[in-house]
Amino acid sequence: MNKIETELLDCYILEPNKFGDDRGYFSPYFIQKNLDELGFVSVVQANRSKSSKGVVRGLHFQENPKCQAKIVEVIKGSAVDVVVDIRKDSATYGKHISVLLTEDNNRQLFVPRGFAHGFVSLEDDTIFQYLIDNDYAPELEGGILWNDKELGINWDEIFSEYGIEEPILSEKDINRKPLSECEVEFWRDK
């Protein structure tokens, strides 16, 4: 597996190895030693979502004691994945990256604990998969406003590039607060 550093501390793009021939390919995605290197001890939960073109999900996180690290990927279709470092003691606090994930580029993103996560689906029937290292706890679910101006996420450029006229969001995500109004604490490790 190729682990690519990003501009955010502890957040990596992952490119699993591919082995194939004219029949297709095989890719061993989750080898324990690779997970150990990331600090991702075990997969506690696996989730999939299916989204229409233009659906924006996020920016979500979970608070202590159930904060979560994630390995995310697109199984079908394509999405631009966005993560924001919201660990106040981090040198990259408040910064974000966006990564194109498609069913063909074989990329995944490791999202550590203490990051807000979201994505926009670039085509209908996009299937997004999350491997998560801690239980979901609805009472500890949090989020920040997806288009928080202070974060500077280039949503308009993404929408324009991929022909998205109007993003589709849940009521909950529309009404989130900006990062500057969020008070959350995260553990650095499990």
What digits encode the pLDDT tens for the residues 39-58? 666 788 999 999 999 999 99
Which SS3 state, helix, strand or coil, does residue 129 take?
Answer: strand
Give the pair of three-digit tokens for residue 14: 């992952």
Q: Which of 12, 60, 96, 117 is catalytic?
A: 60
Quick one: which of 126, 131, 77, 93 has its CA closest to 109? Answer: 131
pLDDT tens digits for range 97-144? 999 999 999 899 999 999 999 999 999 999 999 999 999 999 999 999
Q: Using CA atoms, how far apart are residues 68 and 133, in angstroms rounded to an integer?
A: 6
Domain with residues 2-181, CATH architecture: Sandwich (2.60)
Q: Which of 12, 93, 117, 130 is catalytic?
A: 130
Using DSSP, how many helices (H) and how many strands (E) does the chain show?
3, 13
pLDDT tens digits for range 139-157? 999 999 999 999 999 999 9
pLDDT tens digits for range 24-41? 765 666 666 666 677 666
Told to judge if 60 belongs to the known catalytic residues of this protein, a careful annotator would answer yes
Give the pair of three-digit tokens for residue 10: 């502890």
Give the pair of three-digit tokens for residue 53: 């073109």
For residue 90, the model assigns a pLDDT of 92
| pTM (2 d.p.) | 0.89
* Cis status, amide bond into 167, omega within 30 of 0: no
pLDDT tens digits for range 47-101? 999 999 999 999 999 998 889 999 999 999 999 999 999 999 999 999 999 999 9
Quick one: which of 162, 174, 176 has its CA closest to 54? Answer: 162
Q: Using CA atoms, how far apart are residues 160 and 181, in angstroms rounded to an integer?
A: 29
Alpha carbon distances (Å) from 162 to 80, 95, 102, 104, 120: 10, 23, 13, 17, 10
Told to judge if 96 belongs to the known catalytic residues of this protein, a careful annotator would answer no
